[in-house]
Amino acid sequence: MRRSQFDYHSYRGRKTASFWLKWIALVLAILVVLAVAFLLWGQQYISYTDNGLRVNFPFSDHESKDPDVGNLDVIDQEPGDGSGDTSDQGDTSQEQQPQEKTSSKAINASLSAILDGSAAQLVQEQGADSVVVDMKNDQGQLGWKSQQSLASAVQSEAQDDQVNEKLKSWNEGDVYTVARMSCFRDEAVGGQMAYTLQTTSGYRWKDGDGMHWSDPSNQKVQDYLIGLMTELAQMGFDEIVLDHCGYPTQADGLLSNIEYGSQQVSQVMNDFLAKAAKALEPYGTTLSLEVSQEQISGQDGNSGLTAQNINQYGQRLWISGEEQAVLSTLTGAGVENPQQKLVLYVQQFSSNSTVSQARLS
């Protein structure tokens, strides 16, 4: 017995190196056996992938997360096309396209009804889809605050300082709105000697109703009117129809004493309408003319409007008369697409009409 410092215990002797070598050899033999068994038994669960060796044990989720390239559909798609739909889209003519307004029904609305919004109810009640509002009447009074230097007369309903903003707000709505302008029949500007249509004796000419007209050949007058049209377009009006656009006609009174000047009346109107069309083009505003059958047919050429300039610049033509007779006159004058251009003045809307109609008081 060998005693330690604190106690005694039996002495069993030191373990030799051969003892440890035997144990190491035994452990290695067991590991080799296990490795061989694993290779034989687990071979079906071992796969080689691009990412290295993969072992799928039967008790784990054995579905491979790598796609089976043999079952993939290859999609050949243009860069930047995020739709992912490369199927045949079919006939493009079947795609929905915006339709042009082929016919309409217009009623007259007062400026006050436009400003307070009640014109929308009038449109619905009367079975219409458009309104016409007098934005420059025969007196030369405007329905808005204009920045033009010759603007001097304003309609009573347009005294509101917010009138322009209210008109813009209305025009942002769904109702198609036409601004009527009396061009050269204008008591406010035509009554001024510097801009009036004169007689051969140098006096201010008056029509049968005692109204003065501004001179169509006066460049300041033309610039004034085109400036007004531009302001209306900027406020969002869909269409501008020009009434009394030209020199007075036979229906307006005695014409023999008018001083026309050296320039041909048709050339005066050609130049004016060309400038008006160019001014409205950026806004997409329709330029229309209120004309008579006599002007179109050439029986009354005193105004300067001819079948040629009417056809060229009048996107829509507002005319009184019987429908078939008016269409026949337009066709005979060579007006293109007469059914699409015509707006016929009527007493009552007709469901059988093939053209646009306007019922105005």
Residues 254-287 have pLDDT tens digits of 999 999 998 999 999 999 999 999 999 999 999 9
Of 306, 272, 310, 140, the residue nearest 213 (C-alpha): 140
Paired tokens of 357: 């109609």
Does residue 324 lie within any of the structural domains? yes
Residues 313 and 172 reside in one and the same domain: yes
Residues 132 and 41 reside in one and the same domain: no
Q: DSSP state, 246?
A: S
Residues 178 and 289 reside in one and the same domain: yes
Does residue 84 lie within any of the structural domains? no
Q: Binning pLDDT at 50, 70 and 90, where does residue 94 land?
A: very low
Q: Which residues contact residue 45 at a Cβ distance below 8 angstroms, ignoring those fewer than 6 apart?
A: 55, 56, 57, 58, 62
Residues 229 and 334 reside in one and the same domain: yes
Q: Which residues contact residue 51 at a Cβ distance below 8 angstroms, ignoring those fewer than 6 apart?
A: none
Domain range spanning residue 30? 1-63
CATH number at residue 166: 3.20.20.80
Helices (H), ranges, 106-186 = 111-116, 119-125, 163-171
Residues 301 and 193 reside in one and the same domain: yes
- 167-198 per-position pLDDT tens digit: 999 999 999 999 999 999 999 999 999 999 99
Residues 302-330 as b or e (16 or more Cβ within 10 Å = b): bbbbbbebbbebbbbbbbeeebeebbebb
Residues 215 and 302 reside in one and the same domain: yes
d(CA 107, CA 121): 12
Give one word for 298, left, alpha or beta, with left for phi > 0 and alpha for psi -120 to 50. Answer: left
Paired tokens of 51: 């990412």
Number of domains the chain contains: 2
Does residue 88 lie within any of the structural domains? no
Does residue 182 lie within any of the structural domains? yes
Q: What is the pLDDT of residue 23?
A: 73
CA distances from 168 to 63, 103, 122, 232 (A): 66, 25, 19, 9
Residues 19 and 126 reside in one and the same domain: no
Q: Binning pLDDT at 50, 70 and 90, where does residue 343 land?
A: very high
Does residue 352 lie within any of the structural domains? yes
Residues 40 and 114 reside in one and the same domain: no
Stretch 301-317: mean pLDDT, rounded? Answer: 95
What are the φ/ψ torsions at residue 211 (nearest 5 degrees)?
Answer: -95, 145
d(CA 309, CA 315): 11
d(CA 88, CA 99): 25
Residues 15 and 144 reside in one and the same domain: no
Which among 63, 85, 116 is the end of a domain? 63
Residues 33 and 114 reside in one and the same domain: no
d(CA 1, CA 4): 10
Paired tokens of 94: 């079947």
Residues 214 and 348 reside in one and the same domain: yes
Q: Find out whether 248 and 213 touch, Cβ atoms under 8 Å.
A: yes
Whole-prediction pTM value?
0.72
Q: Binning pLDDT at 50, 70 and 90, where does residue 112 land?
A: very high
Does residue 74 lie within any of the structural domains? no
Q: DSSP state, 285?
A: P
Residues 355 and 221 reside in one and the same domain: yes
Residue-averaged pLDDT of the chain: 84
d(CA 277, CA 233): 12
Residue type, position 85, single letter: D
Does residue 110 lie within any of the structural domains? yes
HSE, side-chain direction, 13 A CA sphere, residue 129: 7
Does residue 96 lie within any of the structural domains? no
71, pLDDT greater than 70: no
Give me the numbers of helices (H) and strands (E) for the chain, helices first please: 11, 12
Of 203, 218, 306, the residue nearest 258 (C-alpha): 203
